[in-house]
Chains A and B, each alone.
Chain A
């Protein structure tokens, strides 16, 4: 059952990703992207990362993609069908390089990569599952986040604040609100 679901999600994810790259309209690309994100969220669930799956759908597929959509509509690019794919030798060259990269990555990931990992994978998975039962799906992430990684977490908050200020300043029409 899990395998079938994984294959299903994987196919949708890859298909969506290809759709993002080849989609003519920005809106189409965006929708393909939402499909990919949703599939990836599904795979998160298969890996027992329920909280991340929820965040993925809420924040990524929801908030961020909607932000993209807003921008597309704001700039009135929704009907811009002009082809902006680079064809010809450039694409061919890119395909070669990217294909090579893919090959290298596959080579790196397959083989004996996981032998050691898989060995103690069962105990780690069991520990995580136990923690999930004890603290709940949110608590199992929140606990280290607010203890061991609290500095990083605070920095994240600061980063978001800076990003908000920067976005406001950059997006503000020139001359507006000055003085």
Chain B
């Protein structure tokens, strides 16, 4: 039934927009709902990029003129800040606010009974042969949620950036990149096909590269940008190959048509769909930093901290999860891919969590925490709990953005302290912090909220989303005809342990940063201070979301059991119902293949039981580790060289992933390249070219011998030529 309607609407969509002559904003008859300016939501950040980019170019011109005249330009030296550094404050967050309001209007206005995505086609982007790609945006429940997250969290981070980047010379450049990023991210989540999505996919990769290497004069930071870009390319190869396969199988890139075709035309577990989904997963693993392509994300922390919050925690890195959720129909048709996606996710979650335990750089801890949480999302997407994946994506965006921005406030403060410290001070090393609660109590409190949220403690947002993932893993492990039931049970166990490790490393971060004795040094400590309101207000907003964000999807079982607590909520599992039109097709396929999900965990016990167990365990972990670590004496970074041996050392060195890649890929590649250079290029290619040149020179020398200057000689040679020509014509007649 569902398949039939999808096919019908796809056909009408095709017939309703004749090629090339389609009027812009062709209205699909399937939906009576009129979205509010969807194109403008996308265009506003682009407009911001254009304005800020222009200002950045102006600033660069002034700066380079100053450099040519031998001086250095400091835009903040004069009494009045120049316009190039004042206007982005208004433009950057301004366009985001308007875009957010528009997204909100669309979200509120979207009718509950909207079953099919509303597609707005603007122009025919590529029309060649049988291939027709529309530059089209689509609005449905999933893209509405993603739009809200991107513009909402994005707006808060833009505001925070105003304070954080206040005294940076590249202020307009920073905001132009940030706006451009939001533009591409919106294209990614609103594109109506894989091709459009790929535009956004590559665009956010570019912006990520630009922003990681934002302080490009620092070699290490620009290298980190390159690393991110290259690792992402590896994933993109997978995405591209998947797109080719999709085109081969369905002849189109449009989501609606692809899913309709897949539902009707592909066998469950077939080779085509498995190959497509595995290749898509490679792309997603690159973008979302899954093992083994996770190595770029921790290095990406070289960028400004708000960038880490926006791109490398809240939005861009979740693009892979979004893509898997968007392709839910394809994944539901490929159980092997599902098991692999879930396996990669749970492995990533575990490895990243173990590494996070032994890191000292505050942003590195958060980076590995992000990788770990992305692993949870992949686990959810892999087991077919797409709603849970999106739910965790949303709540994670809230609390991880809060954690990063809080860390940003800490670094901001430490930066001032380091400026005045008597010795060199790594402003991101937690060993140099300690006891910051006294100096920045508000940040401390807000970050504790986020910590409790990520640790999965009731009633914070992370509890509901993470618990849902773990519960669905257990439930699908028990599904009667799931061929990977035992594997899912293992996933469930590992996920549970990883959740507790999350609680531990986050507590460690908080204790090392905000509690205990201060290790900044007396000279520096005097300059520690709370961040300005422009930075703390976004934190407060995000903290509120971290507390209440989870209530959008309270499980039915919990609402029933704790009617007193959740009775005030209008309905349970709101997000689940909201996303139903997007996910129900996949859910039906999955139930048809695996049978109904079980309602008890592998070890027995229902959803409520395990929710209680996990929250109590997490709370205990936080409490115990806080007590244990609180009494521990940390020494400042200068006097400490980290764990010297054993497992701690391995974890501190990140399981030697970078070293392994260096030995297995980078150095052999370098050797191969050197060989190609020395042998293929220098000897063979250059040799060939040089030999040709030598031959031409030799031939020229020989021929020049005839250039004697003797007219008789020339006449003779001419005659010989005539003889040859004449002879051939006469005798070959």
A residues engaging B (CB < 8 A)?
A: 86, 90, 93-94, 97-98, 100-101, 104-105, 107-108
The docked-state distance in angstroms from the alpha carbon of A97 to that of B723 is: 8
Task: List 15 other contacts, CB 8 Å, given A97-B716, A101-B723, A104-B730.
Answer: A86-B712, A90-B712, A93-B716, A94-B716, A97-B720, A98-B719, A100-B723, A101-B719, A101-B722, A104-B723, A104-B726, A107-B731, A108-B726, A108-B729, A108-B730
Of chain B, the residue at the smallest CB distance from A100 is: B723
Chain B contacts for A86, CB-based, 8 A:
712
* B726 contacts A101, C-beta separation under 8 Å: yes
The docked-state distance in angstroms from the alpha carbon of A6 to that of B417 is: 121
Chain A contacts for B23, CB-based, 8 A:
none
Chain A contacts for B719, CB-based, 8 A:
97-98, 101
Chain B contacts for A97, CB-based, 8 A:
716, 719-720, 723
Of the candidates B712, B716, B726, B731, the one whose C-beta lies within 8 Å of that of A105 is: B726
User: B727 interface residue, CB < 8 Å from A?
Assistant: yes
Chain A contacts for B727, CB-based, 8 A:
100, 104
- A93 smallest CB distance to B (angstroms): 8
Chain A contacts for B716, CB-based, 8 A:
93-94, 97
- Residues 100-117 of B at the A interface (beta carbon under 8 Å): none
- Residues 685-733 of B at the A interface (beta carbon under 8 Å): 712, 716, 719-720, 722-723, 726-727, 729-731
Contact with A along B626-639 (1 / 0, CB 8 A): 00000000000000
Of chain B, the residue at the smallest CB distance from A105 is: B726
Of chain B, the residue at the smallest CB distance from A101 is: B723
The docked-state distance in angstroms from the alpha carbon of A94 to that of B727 is: 17
The docked-state distance in angstroms from the alpha carbon of A108 to that of B672 is: 65
A-B residue pairs, 9 tightest by C-beta:
A108-B730, A101-B723, A104-B726, A104-B727, A104-B730, A107-B730, A97-B719, A100-B723, A97-B720
- B727 smallest CB distance to A (angstroms): 5
Can you offer 7 A-B residue contacts whose CB atoms are under 8 A? A97-B723, A100-B727, A101-B722, A101-B723, A101-B726, A107-B730, A108-B726
Chain B contacts for A105, CB-based, 8 A:
726
Chain A contacts for B723, CB-based, 8 A:
97, 100-101, 104
The docked-state distance in angstroms from the alpha carbon of A94 to that of B714 is: 12
Q: How many residues does chain B have at the interface if contact means C-beta atoms less than 8 Å apart?
A: 11
Q: Is the interface of B mostly helix, strand, loop or mixed?
A: helix
- A73 smallest CB distance to B (angstroms): 23
Chain A contacts for B726, CB-based, 8 A:
101, 104-105, 108
Of chain B, the residue at the smallest CB distance from A107 is: B730
Chain B contacts for A94, CB-based, 8 A:
716
- A143 smallest CB distance to B (angstroms): 34
The docked-state distance in angstroms from the alpha carbon of A108 to that of B719 is: 17
Of chain B, the residue at the smallest CB distance from A102 is: B723
Of chain A, the residue at the smallest CB distance from B730 is: A108
- A154 smallest CB distance to B (angstroms): 31
Of chain A, the residue at the smallest CB distance from B733 is: A108
- A150 smallest CB distance to B (angstroms): 33
Chain B contacts for A104, CB-based, 8 A:
723, 726-727, 730-731
- A22 smallest CB distance to B (angstroms): 16
Chain B contacts for A98, CB-based, 8 A:
719
The docked-state distance in angstroms from the alpha carbon of A97 to that of B712 is: 13
Chain B contacts for A90, CB-based, 8 A:
712
Chain A contacts for B731, CB-based, 8 A:
104, 107
The docked-state distance in angstroms from the alpha carbon of A94 to that of B726 is: 17
The docked-state distance in angstroms from the alpha carbon of A108 to that of B712 is: 26
Chain A contacts for B712, CB-based, 8 A:
86, 90
The docked-state distance in angstroms from the alpha carbon of A97 to that of B718 is: 11
Which one of A93, A98, A108 has the highest number of Cβ atoms from chain B below 10 Å of its Cβ?
A108
- A108 smallest CB distance to B (angstroms): 4
- A173 smallest CB distance to B (angstroms): 24
The docked-state distance in angstroms from the alpha carbon of A93 to that of B719 is: 12
Chain A contacts for B729, CB-based, 8 A:
108
- B53 smallest CB distance to A (angstroms): 64
The docked-state distance in angstroms from the alpha carbon of A159 to that of B393 is: 90
- B711 smallest CB distance to A (angstroms): 12
The docked-state distance in angstroms from the alpha carbon of A105 to that of B731 is: 11
The docked-state distance in angstroms from the alpha carbon of A90 to that of B727 is: 22
The docked-state distance in angstroms from the alpha carbon of A107 to that of B726 is: 11
- A144 smallest CB distance to B (angstroms): 29
Chain B contacts for A101, CB-based, 8 A:
719, 722-723, 726
The docked-state distance in angstroms from the alpha carbon of A94 to that of B730 is: 21
Chain B contacts for A107, CB-based, 8 A:
730-731
Contact with A along B235-254 (1 / 0, CB 8 A): 00000000000000000000
The docked-state distance in angstroms from the alpha carbon of A93 to that of B729 is: 23
- B706 smallest CB distance to A (angstroms): 14
- A35 smallest CB distance to B (angstroms): 24
The docked-state distance in angstroms from the alpha carbon of A90 to that of B731 is: 27
The docked-state distance in angstroms from the alpha carbon of A86 to that of B731 is: 31
- B728 smallest CB distance to A (angstroms): 10
Of chain A, the residue at the smallest CB distance from B723 is: A101
The docked-state distance in angstroms from the alpha carbon of A101 to that of B729 is: 13
The docked-state distance in angstroms from the alpha carbon of A108 to that of B729 is: 9
